[in-house]
Structure formats: structure tokens, C-alpha cells
């Protein structure tokens, strides 16, 4: 018999202490390092080795981590990382990951504290968005999976048990979202077997909100052609410019059409924590389901997505499967139904809830709402400097924490090169997007570590180069 535990724990303990000290130093010293650095070919080569048949000492592997992994990671902890929509994480969440690893809990089901913590997190999320207390939900990898779960719930509402067993069959179901919809929503329709062409991408107005008249026309046209509108997806915080659809109106239209009303609030749902921004989320509390991430604006370490479903019975009916070996019992470890495995696609699942629970508990909703506000204030600061510069152009209204801008007279290639240079030199990591046919520099301020001086330095650095 051989166990993987050491006979003498002292060396492992010492290594663990060193790792913890180093990682605290890493967090404390983020600002002094580059945002990101490209991974050299020789380092990359180190990860093409054959499967090791003999083990190596954890101290050796930690040495490799320090030399070959830590320096070449995404960079989203850094205050000058502004690309895509990446959260900065937080130290309490980091420690919670250690505890969760030590527990190695399987949160697919059974009657244990891991499930209770997750239910607490789901209840808090519902409270945050003003959804009813009985709202159910489950933690997932991210909003991509959360949107997928929501599409499956909507499919269940439209097709019932028959849809689960036979697939869509001849049903011609159609879904609607704004042209700014995240790519994972058509992806979810694809994965649900309904086909990504079932999604109607409704044009947006000057505020990047779904054009309601165009939505009504598209629904009418589909019905006239014998199709069934089954799902309306509102976006709370589009990924390119941070726009909010008019969720209240979408809720009314969905109710009138007996369609499922889902909100993709991947990061924007968290605006509900800010008293100044909360009005933009109005109507989210009427959603049949909401997808959002704790790993973006709420700063929980990756990964931590969440889906909420207003009608718990509907979520259970969408996923539950009767299998004898997983049957829930009235008492003992197999009690406590319904289990998370009956609320989503995963059976075995880790203890994601712990880091979410610890983050929300450690900082409180007020401080997290304050971060949402602060990042939006920084975005306005950036927008103001862009407007003040004759060399820079604001390319979309700044509603939230995302600023899309360009350099006057720059071609798309010049813009792409500028952004790649800033990234490769480790100075800043904005990303790019296409706004009205033109490549834009896109700064999404999500990180709680970003300061006004970081914004000012970004503008100074860009102006120095153009
Ligand atoms: C980030 C994002 C997603 C995808 O979420 P993941 O957590 O990356 O899976 C979906 N929709 C919007 C609007 C997003 O910003």
C-alpha cells in the first residue's frame, strides 16, 4: 500500500508556508512588476514533456512554478490590466481556495456544509438583484455556462419533458437578443441543439440598447412564419461598451409572448450593488433567469459564475434525472435534496461557494458596490481626458466602466500595433474591439487596484507614442 501523504509532514508544511509567504508578497508587490510578459519559446517548450512516470519533489515543482509559470500568467491582478472584462481577484478569495482545496469537497450533492454555503451564496445573489427569496440557482464556471443553463430552462418551458427526451424535434423556436450580445448566447443555443441561427440579433440604437420596435417586428415576423418566440435575452452590461438593455420593457414583451425572459448580466448585474448605478439594472428582478459572474466585478478568484432561476421547480425539472445510485434519502449523508447536480449539468463539482461566501462576507456588499462605483468613476476620468485631447477620439458613450476610443487618423493596423506594444512592453493591457466598423482601443476598468494615476499614465503613454 502506498499513500500520497508524506510520512513526515514537516517538509511539506515548510514548503506550504513558503508558498503562502511568497504569494502574499506577490499580491503586495503587483504594482512593481510588468502587467504581462510574453512566454519565451524555451519556457513554453517545458510544457510539451511526456507524462512523467516517476515523481519529482514538490520543492522542485515549486521552483518551476516560480520560474516558468508565475511570470507568464495573464496579468489581470495588475492595476494596469484593462483588457476584456477580467476581475482582479482578492487575497481572502486566494486563502479560501487553499481551504477549499484542503476540504476537497464534492459539491454535486449529499448533505454537508459545502451545499449550505452555496445555498447561502445563491440567496445573497437573489437578494442583491431583488429576486424572490425562493429563487434557486447554482454556481458554475462562468456566465457562458450560466447562459447555457438558462437557455435549457427556457427550452424546458417551451417543450417540457418531451424536449428533454426527444430534442427540439420539428419545433421552430426563436430567441432574441441585442446585436451586442455576447458570443456565448448563440453558443448556448447551439449547445442546446436549437442552432445558433435560432437567435435573432436585434439592432441597437445610439445608446447601444436593443431597438424595441425592431424587436417587436422580428417577433411578429417569426410568428407569421410559424415560428415560436421562446426566449428574450436582455443584456445588462454588453461586453463591448457596457450598455444595458431596457430590461423592464423586455420583461413586458416576454410576458406578453409567454417567452422566457433571461438576463445576461455577466458583469453588469453587479451594478445592482451600487446605489448610483442600480437604476440601470431596473427590470432584472423580473427575469426568469439571470447569468452573472462573481469573478469579474465582484473580484472573486477564477472561476465563479452563477445562474439564478426564479422558479425553482423549473430549474429542477430542466436537469433532474432519476438514478437509483444518486437517490436522495430522508436522512444520513444522502439527505438534503435537491442537490446542485439536479440544477445544472455538472455532477461532481468543487467548493466554489467557499471563496464567494468568504469574499462577500469579508468585504460586504457596500464595499464591493463601492468598487463598482470607483471603476465607473475611473472610466469617466479616462473619457474626459480622451475628449480633452485633439489626438484621441471617444468611440462609444461611457455608461459604465468600459471606454472605447481611438487615435485620430490611425488605421486599424496602427491601433492593433499600439495595443500589442503596450501589452508586450508590460506597461498596460487594454484590449480591442470593433465599434461601428472601426478597431477601437478598449479599456475595461474592473480591477479594484486601479487608481486615477493609472488612468492618467495610460493616456500619457499613448499620447507619447502617437
Ligand atoms: C464575460 C461575459 C460573458 C461570459 O462569461 P464567462 O464568465 O467568461 O463565461 C457573457 N456575457 C457577457 C456580457 C460577458 O461580459
Q: How does residue 324 score in pLDDT terms, banded at 50, 70 and 90?
A: low
The closest alpha carbon to 240, from 436, 88, 96, belongs to 436
Last residue of a domain, one of 327, 360, 393: 360
Q: What mean pLDDT do residues 32-59 have?
A: 97
- Compute the distance from residue 152 Cα to the ligand 1 centre, in Å: 17
Q: What is the pLDDT of residues 305-322, one digit of tens each?
A: 999 999 999 999 999 987
Ligand 1 atom with the shortest distance to the CA of 142: 7
- Compute the distance from residue 143 Cα to the ligand 1 centre, in Å: 5
In whole angstroms, give the CA distance from residue 61 to residue 196.
Answer: 43
Shared domain check, 343 and 383: no
Last residue of a domain, one of 360, 388, 409: 360
The answer to the question of residue 121 being in a domain is yes
Q: What mean pLDDT do residues 270-286 have?
A: 96
Q: What's the Cα-to-Cα distance from 262 to each of 26, 145, 150, 177, 259, rounded to whole Å?
A: 39, 13, 7, 10, 9
Shared domain check, 443 and 314: no
The closest alpha carbon to 345, from 299, 305, 287, belongs to 305
Shared domain check, 218 and 149: yes
Last residue of a domain, one of 360, 394, 412: 360
Q: 300 is written with which cell numbers?
A: 472573486
In whole angstroms, give the CA distance from residue 407 to residue 388.
Answer: 13
Q: Is the pLDDT of residue 325 over 70?
A: no
Shared domain check, 284 and 235: yes
The answer to the question of residue 88 being in a domain is no
**Residue nearest atom 12 in ligand 1 by C-alpha distance:** 266
The answer to the question of residue 85 being in a domain is no
φ/ψ of 163, rounded to 5, equals: -65, -35
The answer to the question of residue 127 being in a domain is yes
Whole domain around residue 203: which residue ranges? 100-360
Q: Is the pLDDT of residue 258 over 80?
A: yes
- Compute the distance from residue 241 Cα to the ligand 1 centre, in Å: 13
Q: What is the pLDDT of residues 163-206, one digit of tens each?
A: 999 998 889 999 999 999 999 999 999 999 999 999 999 999 99
Element (H, E) at 260: strand 260-264
From 76, 141, 142, 295, the mutation candidate for ligand 1 (largest count of ligand atoms within 8 A of CB) is 142
Cα Dmax for the chain: 74
The pLDDT value recorded for residue 256 is 98
Burial 54-71 (b: 16+ CB within 10 A, else e): eeeeeeeebeeeeebeee
The answer to the question of residue 84 being in a domain is no
Ligand 1 atom with the shortest distance to the CA of 303: 7
The closest alpha carbon to 271, from 358, 143, 399, 147, belongs to 399
- Compute the distance from residue 142 Cα to the ligand 1 centre, in Å: 7
Q: What is the pLDDT of residues 237-252, one digit of tens each?
A: 999 889 999 999 999 9
Q: What is the CATH number of the domain that holds 390?
A: 3.90.1150.10
The answer to the question of residue 304 being in a domain is yes
Element (H, E) at 306: strand 305-309
Ligand 1 atom with the shortest distance to the CA of 265: 13
Q: How does residue 365 score in pLDDT terms, banded at 50, 70 and 90?
A: very high
- Compute the distance from residue 414 Cα to the ligand 1 centre, in Å: 28
Q: What is the mean pLDDT of the chain?
A: 96
Q: What is the pLDDT of residues 337-358, one digit of tens each?
A: 999 999 999 999 999 999 999 9
Shared domain check, 37 and 122: no
**Residue nearest atom 7 in ligand 1 by C-alpha distance:** 142
From 146, 151, 239, 431, the mutation candidate for ligand 1 (largest count of ligand atoms within 8 A of CB) is 239
Ligand 1 pocket residues where CB is under 6 Å: 85, 142-144, 182, 184, 235, 237-239, 264, 266-267, 293, 305
Q: What mean pLDDT do residues 419-426 have?
A: 98
The alpha carbon of residue 211 and the mean position of all alpha carbons in its chain are separated, in whole angstroms, by 25
The pLDDT value recorded for residue 303 is 98
Shared domain check, 419 and 312: no
**Residue nearest atom 1 in ligand 1 by C-alpha distance:** 266
The answer to the question of residue 158 being in a domain is yes
The answer to the question of residue 179 being in a domain is yes
In whole angstroms, give the CA distance from residue 227 to residue 257.
Answer: 12
The residue with cell 445544472 is 344
- Of residues 324 and 57, more confidence is placed in 57
Shared domain check, 377 and 324: no
Q: What is the CATH number of the domain that holds 306?
A: 3.40.640.10
**Residue nearest atom 2 in ligand 1 by C-alpha distance:** 266
In whole angstroms, give the CA distance from residue 111 to residue 83.
Answer: 41
Shared domain check, 116 and 41: no
- Compute the distance from residue 262 Cα to the ligand 1 centre, in Å: 14
**Residue nearest atom 14 in ligand 1 by C-alpha distance:** 266
How many Cβ atoms are within 10 Å of 465's Cβ, its own excluded?
A: 11
- Compute the distance from residue 185 Cα to the ligand 1 centre, in Å: 9
Please count the structural domains in the chain.
3
Shared domain check, 323 and 213: yes
Shared domain check, 317 and 249: yes
| Residues pairing with 201 in the sheet | 177
From 143, 268, 304, the mutation candidate for ligand 1 (largest count of ligand atoms within 8 A of CB) is 143
In whole angstroms, give the CA distance from residue 459 to residue 455.
Answer: 7
- Compute the distance from residue 280 Cα to the ligand 1 centre, in Å: 18
How many Cβ atoms are within 10 Å of 42's Cβ, its own excluded?
A: 8
CB 293 within 8 A of CB 267: yes
Shared domain check, 338 and 227: yes
Shared domain check, 288 and 256: yes
Amino acid at each position: 500500500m502506498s499513500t500520497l501523504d508524506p510520512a513526515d509532514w514537516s517538509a511539506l508544511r515548510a514548503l506550504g508556508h513558503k508558498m503562502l509567504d511568497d504569494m502574499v508578497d506577490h499580491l503586495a508587490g503587483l504594482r512593481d512588476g510588468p502587467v504581462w510578459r510574453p512566454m519565451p519559446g524555451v519556457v513554453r517548450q517545458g510544457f510539451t514533456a511526456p507524462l512523467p512516470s516517476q515523481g519529482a519533489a514538490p520543492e522542485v515543482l515549486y521552483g518551476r512554478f516560480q520560474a516558468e509559470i508565475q511570470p507568464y500568467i495573464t496579468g489581470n491582478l495588475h492595476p494596469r490590466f484593462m483588457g476584456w472584462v477580467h476581475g482582479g481577484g482578492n487575497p481572502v478569495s486566494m486563502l479560501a481556495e487553499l481551504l477549499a482545496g484542503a476540504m476537497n469537497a464534492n459539491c454535486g450533492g449529499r448533505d454537508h456544509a459545502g451545499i449550505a454555503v452555496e445555498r447561502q451564496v445563491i440567496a445573497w445573489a437573489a437578494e442583491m438583484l431583488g429576486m424572490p427569496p425562493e429563487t434557486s440557482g447554482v454556481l458554475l464556471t462562468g456566465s457562458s455556462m450560466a447562459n447555457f443553463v438558462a437557455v435549457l430552462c427556457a427550452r424546458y418551458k417551451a417543450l417540457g419533458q418531451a424536449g428533454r427526451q426527444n430534442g427540439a424535434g420539428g419545433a421552430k423556436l426563436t430567441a432574441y437578443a441585442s446585436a451586442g450580445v455576447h458570443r456565448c448566447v448563440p453558443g448556448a443555443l447551439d449547445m442546446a441543439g436549437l442552432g445558433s441561427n435560432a437567435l435573432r440579433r436585434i439592432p441597437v440604437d445610439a445608446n447601444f440598447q436593443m431597438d424595441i420596435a425592431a424587436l417587436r417586428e422580428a417577433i411578429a415576423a417569426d410568428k407569421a412564419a410559424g415560428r415560436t418566440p421562446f426566449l428574450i435575452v436582455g443584456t445588462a452590461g454588453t461586453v463591448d461598451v457596457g450598455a444595458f438593455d431596457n430590461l423592464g420593457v423586455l420583461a413586458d414583451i416576454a410576458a406578453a409572448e409567454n417567452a422566457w425572459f433571461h438576463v445576461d448580466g455577466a458583469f453588469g448585474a453587479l451594478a445592482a450593488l451600487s446605489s448610483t448605478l442600480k437604476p440601470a439594472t431596473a427590470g432584472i428582478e423580473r427575469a426568469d433567469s439571470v447569468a452573472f459572474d462573481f469573478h469579474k466585478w465582484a473580484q472573486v478568484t477564477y472561476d465563479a459564475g452563477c445562474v439564478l432561476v426564479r422558479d425553482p421547480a423549473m430549474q429542477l425539472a430542466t436537469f433532474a434525472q432519476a438514478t437509483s445510485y444518486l437517490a436522495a434519502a430522508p436522512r444520513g449523508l444522502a439527505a438534503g435534496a435537491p442537490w446542485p447536480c439536479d440544477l445544472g449539468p455538472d455532477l461532481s463539482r468543487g467548493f466554489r461557494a467557499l471563496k464567494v461566501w468568504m469574499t462577500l462576507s469579508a468585504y460586504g456588499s457596500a464595499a464591493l458596490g463601492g468598487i463598482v462605483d470607483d471603476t465607473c468613476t475611473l472610466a469617466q476620468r479616462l473619457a474626459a481626458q480622451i475628449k480633452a485631447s485633439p489626438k484621441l477620439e471617444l468611440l462609444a458613450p461611457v455608461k459604465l466602466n468600459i471606454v472605447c476610443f481611438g487615435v485620430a487618423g490611425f488605421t486599424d493596423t496602427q491601433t492593433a500595433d499600439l495595443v500589442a506594444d503596450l501589452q508586450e512592453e508590460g506597461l498596460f493591457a487594454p484590449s480591442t474591439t470593433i465599434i461601428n466598423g472601426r478597431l477601437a482601443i478598449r479599456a475595461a476598468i474592473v480591477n479594484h487596484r486601479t487608481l486615477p494615476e493609472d488612468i492618467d499614465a495610460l493616456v500619457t503613454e499613448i499620447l507619447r507614442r502617437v
